Amino acid sequence: MTEAIIFDMDGVLIDSEPIHFEAMRALLANHGVVYAPGHDDNFYGCTDREVFGALSARYGLQAAEAEMAASWIDRVVELLAGPLEPMAGVPDVLHALRASGVRLALASSSAPAIIATTLAGLGLSDAFELTVSGHEVAHGKPAPDIFVEAARRLDLPHEACLVVEDSHNGLQAAIAAGIRCVTVPCPSTRGQDFTGAAVRLDSLAQLPSWMGLPPDSAVAESAFLYRLEAEARRERA
């Protein structure tokens, strides 16, 4: 039985890959590097420190990796300012899952500032019981560290958890952690290999029915009731 779902963020809740790419393109242009689509294909799920370590080696960059990572994070946060467009099924599926008694956690390789800004822009700051950033673990995806840590904080056995991912690296991290994984590819990752996933879905909106939860109309009603209850709690606070 699935007691908790651990969600990736980028590519699952929001199609943020174009935003991340634009921030990287602009930053590297300042260092004389022409960064084009396809140059970041292997970076999905990696932490910024791993990405800039690889880029420094690839392009012979002279700037300190930590300084470049910090500049990139600042650029991404600026681009994420304001209301953001969620992926299909967000936020209703999240609200419906919580209304059904499923615990929700977020495990994203992104920096804490990017996680906080993204969730705020999506109106999801209070949607997850806990969040884990790639900055809080030793190794990014495809290593299992971030999902192992999320399960530890949930205080649940791995078999009681389910991961939702959009990338090959994320899937491999879940498999390495011994946690079942549902893949929901985003436009940037649809061509990746998802062998080993419990299922590949076209949209997050399909997750409740795959889990055997109520049909769409009941899911929508549960989400609506959950939002009403959440708003009432905020007013009482």
Where in the chain are the domains?
4-15+84-236, 17-79
pLDDT at 224: 52
User: The domain 4-15+84-236 is classified under which CATH number: 3.30.70.920, 3.90.1150.10, 3.40.50.300, 3.40.50.1000?
Assistant: 3.40.50.1000
pLDDT at 217: 45
Collect the ranges in the chain with pLDDT lower than 50. 217
Q: Are 190 and 184 in contact (CB under 8 A)?
A: no
- Give CA 125 to chain center in angstroms: 14
**Tokens 């879905």 appear where?**
201
pLDDT at 235: 64
**Tokens 């905020």 appear where?**
234
pLDDT at 161: 98
Q: Which residues of 53-64 are buried (b: 16+ CB within 10 A; e: fewer)?
A: eebbeeeebeee
φ, ψ of residue 103 to 5 degrees: the values are -80, 145
| Strand order across the 130-133 sheet | 130-133, 103-108, 4-7, 161-165, 180-183, 199-200
Task: Characterize the bridge pairing of strands 103-108 and 199-200.
Answer: unpaired
**Would the CATH topology of 4-15+84-236 be identical to that of 17-79?**
no
Residue 72's nearest CA partner among 6, 24, 139 is 24
pLDDT at 221: 54
Written out in words, the top-level CATH class of the domain with range 17-79 is mainly alpha
Concatenated DSSP letters for 136-204? GSSS-TTSSHHHHHHHHHHT--GGGEEEEESSHHHHHHHHHHT-EEEE---TTTTTS--TT-SEE-S-G
